Amino acid sequence: MSAPDPPLAVLAELTHRCPLQCPYCSNPVDLERASSELDTATWCRVLDEAAEMGVLQVHFSGGEPTVRKDLEELVRHATRGGLYSNLITAGVLLDEARIEALAAAGLEHVQLSFQDSEAANANRIGGFRGGHQKKHQVARWVRKAGLPLTVNAVVHRQNLDHLEDIIEMAVALDAERLEVAHVQYYGWALKNRAAFLPTRAQLDAATAVVAAARERLKGTLVIDYVVPDYYARWPKACMGGWGRHFLNITPAGKVLPCHAAESIPSLRFDTVAERPLAEIWAQSEAFQRFRGTDWMPELCHSCARREIDWGGCRCQAFALTGDAANTDPACQLSSLHEGVYALAEREAGAPPPAFTYRRIGGAA
Ligand code: SF4
Ligand code: FES
């Protein structure tokens, strides 16, 4: 296989610590503790390595990246290295001075997550009292600091009926982009799937709301929309294809082809302590395993869409079939597709079970 082009972006998961406890979190079920997190100097070295490889963007994420006291230093370092830095945050730990300090350090964009447009439900889902109100304040400080804002809204059966209001909220907060993402079922979210899966009718109504809002808000708000795979006809090109554009670094320094890759037990991941980032990207076993099309089962390998969706999502194939090398059952050509669709309708039609909140140290 020829050497891959460098990745466009790195997701730097600075920590798994987070004051919120969203049951749809895509972090792994086995969270890494603060004591195993990379220190500032190591992150700075890794950012340098990323810039040298030709990476363009770094997304500082978590967990909640603002729990790291060195976030400003890391943003400054990334900026000096020529990286565009984006902060993906729940916002509740930020104050105005810190946002200004991050902007001064070179931060270029903020993605702020909201759990709903309605405060009581938002705070129930996030498991954090007063969080929703604080996020509104944070959004105003972000815009006051001159930073562009994206509102991230994860949607599901327990907030989908508020989608119109969520869109209006994003407009009122002066966001330039709204990401409406149906829950993707990895990590904690997979544990809570039955609490979140919408019915097909709910999904269709939401899709119509998004289509109308996109038309109405042209030039005001860009709306990205991610549908739940279980009702899709074709799978998404997860991560733009395994090992093609993105890499993910965990708080302890493991380098993953996607944020959920640790859910595939057969994969072994190199760490930034063991090998240079460029070498891991080009040669590590985990990146090679599903890169390109050679690994594909016959159904995908002979399919005209194989370089459109790259066989879908490996983590989902594993979660639903027990083998990450299978065709993603979100694909209508998969023999398992109908069964997954039926499972979704069955779970969505039953009363939602209580949440298993995401907490470091174990389930609720
Ligand atoms: Fe994509 Fe494979 Fe389905 Fe073809 S068969 S559409 S490559 S997942
Ligand atoms: Fe891992 Fe899709 S989430 S490949």
Instruction: Using the predicted structure, report yes or no on whether residue 336 has a pLDDT greater than 50.
Output: yes
CA 288 to centroid of ligand 1, rounded, Å: 19
**Which segment of 146-150, 199-203, 254-258 scores lowest on mean pLDDT?**
199-203
For residue 278 the two structure tokens come to 């460029």
Which ligand places an atom closest to the C-alpha of 318?
A: 2
User: Of ligand 2's atoms, which has the minimum distance to the CA of residue 263?
Assistant: 1
Name the pTM for this structure.
0.94
Q: Whose CA is nearest to atom 6 of ligand 1?
A: 305
Q: Single out the residue of 192, 208, 188, 212 nearest to residue 200, CA to CA.
A: 208
Give the residues surrounding ligand 2 with Cβ less than 6 Å away. Answer: 186, 238-239, 258, 260-261, 313-316
Distance CA 52, CA 6 (A): 10
Which ligand places an atom closest to the C-alpha of 291?
A: 2
- The sign of the torsion formed by the CA atoms of 105, 110, 115, 120 equals positive
The mean of the pLDDT values for the chain is 95
Which ligand places an atom closest to the C-alpha of 308?
A: 1
Q: Single out the residue of 364, 339, 318, 257 nearest to residue 9, CA to CA.
A: 257
Mean pLDDT, range 97-116, rounded to an integer: 98
Query: Quick one: pLDDT at residue 30?
Result: 83
Largest CA distance in the chain: 56
Query: Quick one: pLDDT at residue 363?
Result: 40
